[in-house]
Amino acid sequence: MKKILLLTQNFPPIEGGSGRWFWELYSRLPAENIVIVTHNEPSAELVDESLQATVIRMPLYSPEWGIKSMTGLRFYWRNVRALNALVKVHNIDEVHCGRVIHEGVIAWLSSFFGGKPYRCFVHGEDVETAATSREQALLVTQVCKKALNLICNSENSKQLTQNFGFAHSEKCTVIHPGADFDRFTIAEEDMAFKEQMGWKGKFVLLTVGRLQKRKGQDHLIKAMPEIVAAIPNCLYVVVGSGECKAELEALVDENGMQAHVQFLSGLDDQTLIRCYQQCDYFVLPNRTIGNDIEGFGMVLVEAQACGKPVIAGDSGGTKETMLLGETGHVIACDNPKSMAQHIVPILISPKKSAECYREYAKTHFSWETHLSKFIEMLER
């Protein structure tokens, strides 16, 4: 197998689906063939120690993704030099970029100075963002043109890449994120855990994800008064951290939902999985905000792996995570009142067996299946 360097700003302990995707995927490849170069986050030691592969931390954040400003030029020049040095030291055969921009731009520029061939992951929101800037669009076009191929997290992301003219279909390979079915499992009802969490006697809706506009927690909080009118014991549990925390807490107060919305953050993996296992429905009420979309939605797969039905917004690639009408539903999440009207009938309808939800997810989203496809792509 080729020796690979993964270059990505997004990697644990940074929260988010793309970072977890990289961790799950590259931790399953032969450790001696993998070097992970990622951002120097505080408290990253535990993550790095959990991996057998080599992990190198360096500054990979920049407020400027273009090359017109001195800030952007300095960022790219510094990282091109660092990348080329690491490629030589570790005898790297090819570079894998966490996004087309800015990691992809680093690899593209590196290729003019003896750098190695590269591939780029595409998540949807990255190409959407690049398309809004003429400079970034030109950069991404060049990055995609020279890349060996683009690894898209969904058919939706692949279609966006084509629609914006960044690459043809032949250059795009769709490999969905998956779930670890040994960790995300069905569990019996755990009354002690529910009592500990304040969930006893509650109908629990769970969202796991960053607290940001496109995840849609704000609209579901606004919809909660109507949902509670139909389901009085409903509790909306919001797991995650992010820039919208204060705004979401204010919305809870404005809507008088203090007894029906709970915020959790900083959960260890075991507690997070138990939240999946003990909720009644998993909801990702995502919507498009400007050029920001949900490319796929790993959390929806993880919930189904735990035997839970899912509901998601109809924006981006979320519908690819489920069997529509069977293991999950997509609804428009742009309007809280409309959301409540659509979500209540789903919540009060009879559910299928937990095994039904898990079996669909396991058949379509096991890491073994995705890993085989990934290795096959590398060997072409």
Task: List, for residues 29-50, the tens digit of each pLDDT value.
Answer: 999 999 999 999 988 998 999 9
- Tell me the mean pLDDT in the region 106-121: 96
What phi, psi does 310 have (nearest 5°)?
-130, 155
Which segments of the chain does DSSP mark as H helices, in order?
A: 17-26, 45-50, 70-89, 103-110, 125-131, 134-146, 155-163, 191-197, 217-230, 245-254, 269-278, 298-305, 336-348, 354-365, 367-379
CA dist., res. 177 & res. 123, Å (int): 11
Q: pLDDT-derived band of residue 211, with 50, 70 and 90 as boundaries? A: very high
Q: Which pLDDT value is given to residue 52?
A: 95
The overall average pLDDT reported for the chain is 95
Q: Which pLDDT value is given to residue 98?
A: 98
Residue 199 has pLDDT above 90, yes or no: yes
Contacts of 190 (CB under 8 A, 6+ apart): 274, 277, 278
Checking DSSP bridges between strand 281-284 and strand 310-313, what pairing results, if any? Answer: parallel
CA dist., res. 359 & res. 171, Å (int): 31
Q: pLDDT-derived band of residue 290, with 50, 70 and 90 as boundaries? A: confident
Q: Superfamily for 4-175?
A: Glycogen Phosphorylase B; (3.40.50.2000)
pLDDT digits (tens, 9 = 90+) for 293-337: 898 999 999 999 999 999 999 999 999 999 999 999 999 999 999
Q: Looking at domain 191-364, which CATH architecture does it have?
A: 3-Layer(aba) Sandwich (3.40)
- Tell me the mean pLDDT in the region 246-265: 98
pLDDT digits (tens, 9 = 90+) for 155-165: 999 999 999 99
Q: What is the 3-state secondary structure (H, E, C) of 284-332?
A: ECCCCECCECCCCCHHHHHHHHCCCCEEEECCCCHHHHCCECCCEEEEC
Q: Which pLDDT value is given to residue 152?
A: 96
| Distance separating the N- and C-terminal Cα atoms of the chain | 12
pTM, rounded to two decimals: 0.89
**Quick check: do 4-175 and 191-364 share a fold?**
yes
Q: What is the 3-state secondary structure (H, E, C) of 260-278?
A: CEEEECCCCHHHHHHHHHH
pLDDT digits (tens, 9 = 90+) for 114-136: 999 999 999 988 998 889 899 99
Q: pLDDT-derived band of residue 256, with 50, 70 and 90 as boundaries? A: very high
In the chain, where the domains are located = 4-175, 191-364
Contact 120, 146 (CB under 8 A): no
| Percentage of residues in the chain having pLDDT higher than 70 | 100
Residue 65 has pLDDT above 80, yes or no: no
Q: Which pLDDT value is given to residue 205?
A: 99
pLDDT digits (tens, 9 = 90+) for 162-179: 999 999 999 999 999 989
The residue length of the chain stands at 380
Contact 65, 102 (CB under 8 A): yes
